[in-house]
Amino acid sequence: MSSHFQNRLVGVIVLVALGVIFLPDILDGKKDHQAEQFAEIPLRPEVELVELPDPDFDTVDLSESEQVFEPAVDELGELVQAIEEKENQDKEASAQQENKPAEKSQVAKVKPEAKTGSAYTLQLGSFKSADNVNGLVKQLRKKGFTAYTLPQNPVDGQLTKVFVGPNVSKAKLQKLRQDIEKLTKLTGRIVAYSPTDS
């Protein structure tokens, strides 16, 4: 009985092995093999050679070239003289300024200063969130107010001040202040405008 069982077991193993080997090929069906297509590089096209007509140039005699350059040399000499005269005048002017030390000290004391207090602006607040700053400025500009920020490009985490203005009249800004307070619920304060702030 054991040989009968062994024969059946061997038969089953052989059938399973044949199934494992040949069944995937049967289930896949026909495989299409595509041949690679190579594109040929076209040959260089033939170009017709066209001959240019002979130029009708007059030849220049080299002995005449010396005469052509002589005026240029004279002009260069005049230019050099003009530059030297200008340098001499500058030296004389600087020597005269050195002789007048009192005037020089007065000139050094005068510094251009930006006028402050001649214009005013409405400061609405300082914000750390760039999104809040951009949203507030967008809302103000949409309603027709002139809004700006310092610094000009808000950065998250850094304080950014929001302003409306500037205006020469403090009374007009106070009137705007009431309208802005209704719109944004921010009171704000009127400060002197300084165009050199950044």
Extents of the domains making up the chain = 120-192
Q: Mean pLDDT over residues 11-36, rounded? A: 83
Tell me: pLDDT of 109 over 50: no
Q: Omega before 151 cis (within 30°)?
A: yes
| pLDDT score for 6 | 92
| pLDDT score for 115 | 47
- Kindly state the greatest CA–CA separation across the chain: 137
| pLDDT score for 99 | 66
Confidence of residue 198 (pLDDT cuts 50, 70, 90): low
| pLDDT score for 129 | 86
**Which residues, in sequence order, are CB contacts of 180 under 8 Å at separation 6+?**
122, 124, 140, 145, 164, 186, 188
Contact 174, 102 (CB under 8 A): no
Q: Taking all residues of the chain, what is their mean pLDDT, rounded to a whole number? A: 76
| CA 89 – CA 99 distance, rounded (Å) | 15
Fold for the domain defined by 120-192: Alpha-Beta Plaits (3.30.70)
Tell me: pLDDT of 161 over 50: yes
3-class secondary structure, 192:
strand
Residue 193: other Cβ atoms inside 10 A:
22
